[in-house]
Amino acid sequence: VNGLLFVASGGAAGQARPQLFDSGGQLLDRTQDFNSSASARGVDLVESGVAFAGEFSFLNQAFYLGMTPKVQILTVYDYFENSDTSITNDNAKSDKKMKMNADLGIAKDFNSKIRAGIAISNLYPRNITTSLAHKLRVRPEIRSGAVYKDRSMTYSADLDIYTTHFFGIGRRSQQLALGSEWGINHIFSLRGGYRHDFNQSHLGPFSAGFGLNLRRFQYDMALVYGTSELGLALQWGFKF
């Protein structure tokens, strides 16, 4: 920094760096020495599915089984730039891919207050090749959970069974989610929650929201706020 300041100010400030000049005192052209490169990959994922659920009996025990066949629309971005060859946005590629997948879940009531279960997202594993020949991985994700309900209050906990790695890019995570819901009446409920990542040292995000049930129509909204996360989730449904 001091050497750059010396050059920019014509010697009025900073500190001279002899390695920046030739024997005649002329500034050397170091641009041919650059060998840096930059790359980035990302995925924009949109899912659309229909959920089916029912009750079945096994060994005289009642279980609930649910499945959601879904369409995944993935927009895959792959970018590469090399300072040697002055490659710029010509190597910024994006591809849109449509794939079928499914989620599966099973749950059991242990008594009138406690229910526990397990869910598997993305049952079908696959690899996706980008335009620049990089591999992105879609792998099943397994999550366990439990719910305790007492009068108007409901408490829940969900945990990733193992560390997950979103499409094989970015950081790995294993999350624990805690939540509660206060059912004020059969129409309106208030919710709050906290999510912790065991692979991160800082506090995870908190969430707050509400739910509306108007006969067959259901509407949910939640705000998420954390150290490095801010989000808004909206969901609506129709019972038939």
Q: Say what the pLDDT of residue 230 is.
A: 87
Count of all residues that appear for the chain in the document: 240
Q: State the pLDDT confidence band at 126, using cuts at 50, 70 and 90.
A: confident
For residue 3, what pLDDT band results from cuts at 50, 70 and 90? low
Rounded Cα distance, 49 and 193, in Å? 25
Binned at pLDDT 50, 70 and 90, residue 83 comes out as low
Output the pLDDT for position 90: 44
Please write the tens of the pLDDT for every residue from 145-175: 999 998 899 999 999 999 888 777 777 889 9
**Average pLDDT value for residue range 29-39:** 66
CA distances in angstroms from 62 to 68, 103, 142, listed in the order given: 20, 21, 22
* pLDDT at position 84: 57
Is the pLDDT score of 182 beyond 90?
yes
Check: CB of residue 64 under 8 Å from CB of residue 106: yes
What's the confidence (pLDDT) of residue 29? 67
Residues 154, 200: Cα–Cα separation, whole Å: 28
- The per-residue pLDDT of the chain, averaged, comes to 84
Question: When comparing pLDDT for 208 and 46, which is higher?
Answer: 208
Q: Using CA of residue 174, residue 130, residue 68, residue 153, what is the dihedral sign? A: positive
Average pLDDT over residues 28-46: 72
Single pTM value for the model: 0.66
Q: Residue 75, SS3?
A: strand
pLDDT computed for residue 24 by the predictor: 74
User: What is the distance between the alpha carbons of residues 43 and 79, in angstroms, rounded to a whole number?
Assistant: 12
Q: What is residue 63's predicted lDDT score, i.e. its pLDDT?
A: 94
